[in-house]
Structure 1
Amino acid sequence: MTDPGPARAVTTLESRIELSAPATPEIMDLVHAMLEHLWGTCPDVSDRDRMRFEMSVIEILGNVVEHAYAADNTDIPGQEGRRFEIVVGITEANLMAHLGDNGLPTELDLSGVAMPDVLAESGRGLALASAALDDLSYERVGGRNLWDLLCLRSSD
């Protein structure tokens, strides 16, 4: 019997990308490009996993950009302005994202997220992300909104 060598831990990152930037609508294109680059580093991620993970990241980030800053004045001299950080990573078993922002707090109970009425003009993004991911969490810590997204990779 031959020795298969050391076991590979499922938490070993195959690829990781980080970005810190102003939370503006224009940043969405950069995050799309960042995810495209991530897929190029790990071409074995299935199209299904890519689609559900990318859609979820973009929906959550869209909510951050649209809602967390809606009532905030970012043009105050001497103020840092509103920023977000995103870290995305791929392991053998998972696709993961961590988003943090210094935006306004939100009252949010993810256990009650559901699709809105078919005539509603908004409110689908969080429900779509929650349905597409294997785990989605939000917490407010030290004046920051923190989001963690987990997508288990399929075996196909």
Structure 2
Amino acid sequence: MTDEGTWVEAFEAPVEEATLDLVQDRLEAFWTRAVSVEPTERMKLEMAFVEIVGNIIEHAFAVDTTDGGRILSVVLRADADSIEAVISDNGLPTALDLGSVTMPDEDAVSGRGLALTVAAVDEMRYERVDGRNHWTLRLARQSG
């Protein structure tokens, strides 16, 4: 926790399947320091965070034939007003329109993760800047 009452965790990791375990471990360590975050707030942000990281691992490099150098950068931040995760990667850009994300039909075999992510957080943004994808997840705090 900084002097201003803000908890921050920042790290980088290679983009590979084992990274999902690493980011979950780092998120758990973050929660042990950000003790005022309520369990419901943790659950919402964690579900959204893991979904986005999983999608990056699965999709951002799906047709990328470049060897190595695939990096995921994460900044987690919590203060009295909000909890935020900023996830960046150097994978391929997405053509996803977040405004059109909806829950698929009950017969669909995929597509629920992003819809649940949008529903879980108060703000979800995607932008492509300087050859990197940037995902921002923000959840307003219910308590300080």
Q: Flag the structure with larger Rg.
A: 1
Q: Is the 8 A contact 1:138 1:145 kept in 2?
A: yes
Q: CA deviation at 1:73?
A: 2.2
Residue 148 (1) aligns with residue 133 (2): no
- Give, in whole Å, the separation in 2 of the partners of 1:13 and 1:25: 34
* 2:43 alignment partner, SS class: helix
1:1-156 alignment, distance < 5 Å: 12=4, 14-75=6-67, 80-155=68-143
- Give, in whole Å, the separation in 1 of the partners of 2:23 and 2:56: 13
Moved over 4 A (4+): none
Q: Residues 130 and 142 from structure 1, CA distance in 2 versus in 1: closer, same or farther, beyond 3 angstroms?
A: same
Q: Is the 8 A contact 1:13 1:89 kept in 2?
A: no
- Give, in whole Å, the separation in 2 of the partners of 1:150 and 1:133: 6
Q: CA deviation at 1:19?
A: 1.2
Q: Is the 8 A contact 1:15 1:42 kept in 2?
A: yes
Q: CA deviation at 1:53?
A: 0.3
Unaligned runs of 5+ in 1: 1-11
Q: Residues 24 and 97 from structure 1, CA distance in 2 versus in 1: closer, same or farther, beyond 3 angstroms?
A: same
Q: Is the 8 A contact 2:48 2:120 kept in 1?
A: yes
- Give, in whole Å, the separation in 1 of the partners of 2:40 and 2:22: 22
Cα root mean square deviation, aligned: 1.4
- Give, in whole Å, the separation in 2 of the partners of 1:85 and 1:74: 19
Unaligned runs of 5+ in 2: none
Q: Residues 145 and 73 from structure 1, CA distance in 2 versus in 1: closer, same or farther, beyond 3 angstroms?
A: same
| TM-score (ref. length: structure 1) | 0.85
* 1:94-124 per-position Cα deviation (integer Å, ceiling 9, x unaligned): 1001111110111011111111121212111
* 1:89 alignment partner, SS class: strand
Q: Is the 8 A contact 1:136 1:150 kept in 2?
A: yes
